[in-house]
Amino acid sequence: MIREKTHLYKQARQQKVSDELSARHKKSVTASTSSSKKRSGHKHIYQKIILHYGSSSFCWGRRCEICGRVDSTYKATNERPQDFTVTGKGTGGSWSEICLCEIHEKYPEYTIMTLENAEWKEWTDSKTGQ
């Protein structure tokens, strides 16, 4: 078939969509599952951190550098429990403090966030102040 004739045939076969049909299929401005008020006004830029859940429960996480949002779902994708094995070779104190100090010595470049009263708080070493 000749190309010009094919183009004319397709153009003749196209039907114009009426306005009332197109109005029925418009997309919603906001999703029904989330509120646009809850959405952030910026693109999150995450940095890798260590999350501390309990006495010796650690996992990888990430925190937004702009707003400070902690994303703990990151832990499910990069779960490596052998990264955070604690031997307990520390000075006296609570087991939680011994674990935190040991993990901080192992990974000094990462921030450690602890879960206290359902809020993430940045942990600082009482000896060094970091």
Query: What is the DSSP code (8-state) at residue 78?
Result: S
The pLDDT tens digits for 80-128 are 656 676 766 656 666 777 778 888 888 888 888 888 887 888 888 765 5
- Tens digits of residue pLDDT in 69-83: 888 766 555 556 566
Average pLDDT estimate for 4-26? 62
| pLDDT at residue 58 is higher than 60 | yes
Q: Which one has a higher pLDDT value, 115 or 9?
A: 115
The token pair at 108 is: 């000094």
| Cβ 84 vs Cβ 55: under 8 Å | no
The CA R_g of the chain, rounded to the nearest whole Å, is: 27
Q: At residue 29, does pLDDT exceed 80? A: no
